[in-house]
A and B are shown apart, each in its own frame.
Chain A
Amino acid sequence: MDFDWMKIPYALLTLFIVVNYGMLQNALIAKIGARVGRRRGIPIWQNYADLIKNYSIRSSITHGVMYYLGPVFRLSGGVGLLLFVPSLYGSEMFSNLSFAGDLILALYFIFFGTLGMALGAAESGHPYAAIGITRGLQQVSAAELPMALAVFSVALQYQTLSVTEIVAAQQGGFQNWTLFTNPLAVAAAMLSFLGSMMRPPFDVVLAPQEIPIGPPTEYHSSYLALMQTNRAIFPIAKIVIYMNLFFGGATIWPEFFLKVFLIYMVSVLVGVVHPRFRVEQSIRWFLVWAVPIGILSIVLV
């Protein structure tokens, strides 16, 4: 196999850009959330400070091999997901490692980090970790369904599973975006999106108030640093898929930043004005409201 070794530094460059952007964006969004709640919020560089603090904490424990590997799985999942999908359309430099597989690879690789993280947190022996994981798994199993239907609808629409080809088909003006050519699929996918962003009304997984932060409850120091890095990358990696499938992708970095931010803001806007669902409520909600839209999109495409 003739492999273009330049792909590696290019991929690392993508990673570097996204990590930094993610750190800043997370802080900005936290700040927006705080302002809605009439609080002052964190400084924009807070995430960097936290990262440095976490790495420099001297006391560190481990509960076993899986516990140790949990954050590694988690971050590998985030980085892998980011790199399996092209970041910028038409750019050889930022097509990353998408030669390895298509959309299906990306969709299933989402679970790689989740599963590894779940295993690691479970080995901590902390019941809150297990409770958080089961809540998350149950919720995501229902939230995934409209997304899967939407993806399928899009694949049927464009007759391909290649992300690059799907983006290519949406070029030539915003009226070609899937958002306008297949609005039902996008509606279903965006409802599903709400379920996977860990914001209200679907944040019972982390449940910061009553079970201190769910799965990561027992993680600290450099483990937490890895997970925090992942929190910067993973949502963006996921949003990149949404952007590519439904919103015409991006050809330059500013377009990328803007679209990612706006898509992210959908979940923030919904989140700041809603209370929280219990798990069974959110399962029902997805099945009753989001799934029929997804089914319609498949039938009508």
Chain B
Amino acid sequence: MVSPLVLIAAPLAGAFLLGLVRCPRAALAVTLATLGLAAAAAGWWVWQLGWAGAEAVEVFTAGTPPPFAIALRMGLPEAALTLVITLTGLLSALHMQDNLAETGHRAMAVLLVAVMAYCGIVLTRDLFNLFVFFELAAIATAGLILLSADARALGAGFKYLVVSQVISALLLIGIIFTYHATGTLYLDGIAAAAAKPALAFFLVFIAIAAELKPFPANGWALDVYESSHPAFSALISAAAGAASLYAADKLLTVGGPAWLPAATAIGIVTFVAGNLLALPQGNDRRLLGYSSVAQIGLVLAVAGQRDVLGEHYHFVAFGLLASHAVAKAGLFWLSGMVAERGLAAWAALRARPPLIFAFATFVAMLAGLPPFPGFYAKWELVRVLAAEGRLVLLGLILFGALLEAGYLFRWFGFALKREPSGEGLACAPSKGIPVLAAVLAAWGLAWQWGDASAQANLLLGLPLLFALAFVLLDWLPAWVKNTLAIAGLAAWFALTLGQYDPLRLIFAVIMLAGGAVTLLASYHAHGRRIGFYPSAMLMYAGLAQLILAADTFSFFAAWEILTVGSYFLILRGRHSEPHALSYIVFSLGGAFLILAGFAVAADGAASFAVADLATLAAPVAPWVFLMLAIGFMTKTASIGLHVWLPGAHAEAETDVSPMVSGILLKAGLFGLAVLLLAMGRQKLGGIDLTLAMLWIGAASALLGNLMAIFQEDAKRLLAYSSIGQMGYALFGLAMMNHLGWLMALMFVINHYIYKSMLFLAVGGVAKRTGTRDMYRMGGLINLMPLSFISVLVGIIAMSGVPPLSGFGGRWIFYNALLTAESRLPMILIFFSGPIAFLYLFRLIHTIFLGQLKDEHRRVKEAPFWLMVPQMIYVVLLIAFALVPGVALRQVDGHLGGLLPAGGLSWDGLTITSDFGYWNPVAIMVIVGIIFTTLFLWLVFVNRRAQKVKQFNIVFAAERPFRPETTHFAWNFFAPYRKALGFLVQPVATGFWNGISGGLHAGADFTRRLYTGNAQTYAVHLLVFVVAVHLFMTGM
């Protein structure tokens, strides 16, 4: 049995012992040993209380019960927190060992005292003792701040001392009055006291709250974070933050429910403001400071919700706190390895891929992404808040979280894409070990929270484990990993084949089998391709789990996993940094809406099946529908929410574009299909929401196509075309009739095939020519014949011209329209069809036809492995054109059970609807015979034709000057711009830029509150105290 007093005594003893040691190295050893001992003691308690079934103990220091002596308590929360504190202390000491050794044993003693004080704050049950430990912590902290080499640390330390003395004064006065009123300083005694003095308690509460660095009284803290040694900032952020939060938690237990709203208000304001102010930060440590402030605010807000969280309180609060502590400490330690302070300087991490993995882990952990504790905590929190109707708070939390994800992922993008500066990386083992420990802790906690969660443990999901295994296998050559990945996708598909209904089977075939085919293209990559396979397989893991997800939790988890995976994947493109960022921000925004929708739908139920969405009734149902629909439409890039797509798809790597376009977009459609199947038509304020979706789908189809025709960049053209195509599919689903759905599914299949094929073809051409601008190409047909064939087949299929499969989609579409209830949106769709011809012709003409440029005369066909999947797609397209029944007949039957009226009849080779008929084989045969006959005739009459080059032409009675000036390609559809250019004004882009710019400008303006002047900070503190008091007294 280890006494909890060890946590106090050991550091004290170590600090005294340091006085006797002369050699700095020996002193360091003593320090580390002491902290190790304390950590071991805390760890032992965690084990005893968490696993071995021990009971919480109270330690009476003088052998008598309180109020006559100080009591300490060691329960599971205390054990966990002291473990966090001591471990952070130990690892920080390890990280800054050189500084410590240089500064001498006094600094080490101060560090030990700080750790001891934090532990004391956690353990003590005595109000005055709490004050004492806070004082100790303040003095030790001020000393440690001065350890930094940064000259500004002196000022920061001074400001810290001033503020902490004000806080101490408030605390002390509060304690005096409390003692006067209750006659005890034992916290449980105060709680039990009949009369609780409100003002006295207010002073205590406000002092502790001020310790948590609330907005706006936190300027001093930010200066501390920015200027002190990063290892010490880690300690302040993780250990001191955790200790102060626990002190606040203890006070809230004592104060009772009356104080909870104040805690919530302080917490949420700090959370949102902290994240907002972090947006314009350019200094990594100051940014981390803002983020720390915000995270601690969030936990305080959660502490304020303990009345509704009930038994989930500790799970949620500790999930968030653990995420914050581990990730923030890890990031501060990483910051200690990076030489410069700009965010872009983190590009230096690229020299060490494991550090990038660590960075990704911490960012994902802070952003609350699966499988980390914050994810489970967020889920529970949102579920409870929604059930209790605290929707404003819920909205603010999600908004703050989105802001946080925004700046974290922007930073991550900098690290991955910016040019590393001259100064490298400090990679001493002493600096690497703490980071490694934090990574291990992160994944350990991920496991632990999954295990403790009432939901499934995500780390037990086979697809996710398979994806994570690629992190460990990343040293293998790319082709080995590619083979493994393809085998894995195929095996999972075979394994789960029996579990899909025909509707899901279509999506499963595209996402899993289709994913495997797309991966064939990845064989063209050489070397190890670090980071590609973990990202890609993460996306596929999310997709695989999404189709099988039965309850809302696993659906949402899969959604986030595929979002994160695809973000990493998109980020790999050479110029994709800003586009990947807008992708993740839009996706997470959509995901949060989905989360909120699910939470509102569940109404507090621990588990909620996706199919049970059908049981919802007004007035909740339309709101749930709205939130989920917007969430899913973010993924399908419906117009207005589409601004992320063109850049993300165009700038992705050659073999990534087909994955994120051909496959990933279908996740949104799948979500919409599931949603519409479950919830059907919903009306909100008299508006039929499916009708609204119909209009959105039609507008997406029209404007997506219209924007596509003006692109000079081939991949952007295809990306905009995806917006249009998804608009068609959305339109089909929103029609809510049998044929509309069939058409949407046909689009799902067709779009996967031809868009993957076209992206690969265009990617191959861009690889060979070194440009994606179509007007720089031309006449490549003879040099890249296979790519030409694939583009040709692709555009014929996409345009819907018989005899290829696109026509089937159009035919079903017209039949579906005849039974649709609203006729006006289809006008937009009718218009968008012919516009598609424009960009498709442009795609094939400007690249493959027209004049061959001189610099491309030696261009070769695209790499073999890029061609393999394309040729498979060509065969698939033709096969699907001939016998669409193979794929659609089952689905048609299945849809018959869901939307009975108006199915197709598959009689022999003719497909018949209520209105018309269509025989794909006959069409193919007739067209084939006519074509062949005429071709043979032409060959016969024209057998002596002489082959000449493209440039062998004459016009206006002159020979043209050069091929470059003869190729008509740039600004191809100028008249269209004159006639309809006003439709493609970047209104949506302007709107979102306005929001982003407004947030940044607002943050930049508010940031000026923090003048760096101690007097201003004192005013902030005063304002804070007055504001909280006004809030408490009801204004």
Contact = CB atoms under 8 A, between A and B. Distances in A.
Nearest to B782: A64
Given A115-B801, A152-B817, A104 B916 contact: yes
Contacts of B926: 80, 83-84, 97, 100
Nearest to A145: B831
B934 interface: yes
B666 interface: no
A135 B975 contact: yes
A103 B915 CA distance: 10
Given A111-B801, A137-B841, A159-B818, A102 B916 contact: yes
Interface in B934-986: 934-935, 938, 941-942, 944-953, 955, 960, 963, 966-969, 972-973, 975-976, 978-980
Nearest to A101: B918
Nearest to B817: A152
Interface string A126-144: 1110110111011011101
B975 A280 contact: yes
A284 B978 CA distance: 10
Contacts of A61: 945-948, 952
Nearest to A156: B818
A148 interface: yes
A100 B923 contact: yes
A141 B838 contact: yes
B844 interface: yes
Interface in B914-936: 915-919, 922-923, 926-927, 930-931, 934-935
Which of B781, B915, B960, B980: most chain A Cβ within 10 A? Answer: B915
A74 B827 CA distance: 29
Contacts of A97: 922, 926
Contact of A65 (B781, B802, B844, B931): B781
B966 A138 contact: no
Interface stretch (A20-28, A217-225, A265-273): A217-225
Given A102-B917, A105-B811, A115-B799, A280 B948 contact: no
Interface in B798-818: 799-802, 807, 810-811, 814-815, 817-818
Nearest to B705: A141
B854 to A, nearest CB: 14
A119 B781 CA distance: 11
Contact of A283 (B796, B967, B976): B976
Contacts of B796: 115
A261 interface: no
A140 B916 CA distance: 26
B851 interface: yes
Interface in B835-858: 835, 837-838, 841-842, 844-845, 849-851
A123 B972 CA distance: 16
A109 interface: yes
Nearest to A155: B818
Interface string A71-112: 111011001100110000000000001011111110011011
A80 B802 CA distance: 11
A63 interface: yes
Interface residues of B, number: 78
A143 to B, nearest CB: 9
A1 B909 contact: yes
A68 interface: yes
Interface in A168-202: none
B826 interface: yes
B792 interface: yes
Contacts of B968: 127, 130-131, 134
Nearest to B951: A125
B848 to A, nearest CB: 8
Contacts of B22: none
Nearest to B917: A102
Given A111-B799, A125-B953, A284-B979, A60 B945 contact: yes
A223 B807 contact: no
B837 A222 contact: no
Given A134-B972, A141-B838, A298-B827, A126 B845 contact: no
Contacts of A64: 781-782, 947, 950
Nearest to B939: A68
Interface residues of A, number: 85
B840 to A, nearest CB: 8
B779 interface: yes
A281 B938 CA distance: 38
A216 to B, nearest CB: 13
A101 B53 CA distance: 76
Interface in A25-60: 55, 58-60
A65 B781 CA distance: 9
B1031 interface: no
A119 B792 contact: yes
A80 B966 CA distance: 34
Given A156-B818, A299-B823, A109 B841 contact: no
A100 B919 contact: yes
A71 B938 contact: yes
Given A112-B801, A159-B818, A141 B947 contact: no
Contacts of B913: 161
A266 B814 CA distance: 29
Contacts of A58: 944
Contacts of A119: 792, 841, 844-845, 849
A76 B938 contact: no
B946 A62 contact: yes
Contacts of A130: 845, 849-850, 968-969
Contacts of A60: 942, 944-946
Nearest to A55: B941
Interface string B323-352: 000000000000000000000000000000
Interface string A153-164: 001100111100
Given A140-B834, A161-B815, A99 B919 contact: yes
Contacts of B842: 134
B979 A109 contact: no
A79 B827 CA distance: 30
A18 interface: no
B472 interface: no
B422 interface: no
Given A105-B811, A111-B799, A279-B975, A162 B916 contact: yes
A223 B945 CA distance: 10
Contacts of A68: 938, 942, 945
Given A111-B801, A115-B799, A125-B950, A138 B973 contact: yes
Contacts of A240: none
Interface of B: 779, 781-782, 792, 796, 799-802, 807, 810-811, 814-815, 817-818, 823-824, 826-827, 830-831, 833-835, 837-838, 841-842, 844-845, 849-851, 908-910, 913, 915-919, 922-923, 926-927, 930-931, 934-935, 938, 941-942, 944-953, 955, 960, 963, 966-969, 972-973, 975-976, 978-980
29 contacts: A1-B908, A61-B945, A63-B949, A64-B950, A65-B781, A79-B934, A97-B922, A97-B926, A100-B922, A100-B923, A101-B922, A105-B807, A105-B923, A108-B802, A111-B837, A122-B841, A125-B949, A125-B953, A125-B967, A130-B969, A135-B975, A141-B837, A145-B834, A155-B814, A161-B818, A161-B916, A223-B942, A283-B976, A287-B979
Given A76-B934, A222-B942, 18 more contacts: A60-B946, A79-B930, A79-B934, A101-B811, A101-B917, A101-B918, A112-B802, A119-B841, A119-B849, A123-B781, A125-B849, A125-B850, A127-B968, A161-B818, A161-B916, A222-B941, A223-B938, A283-B979
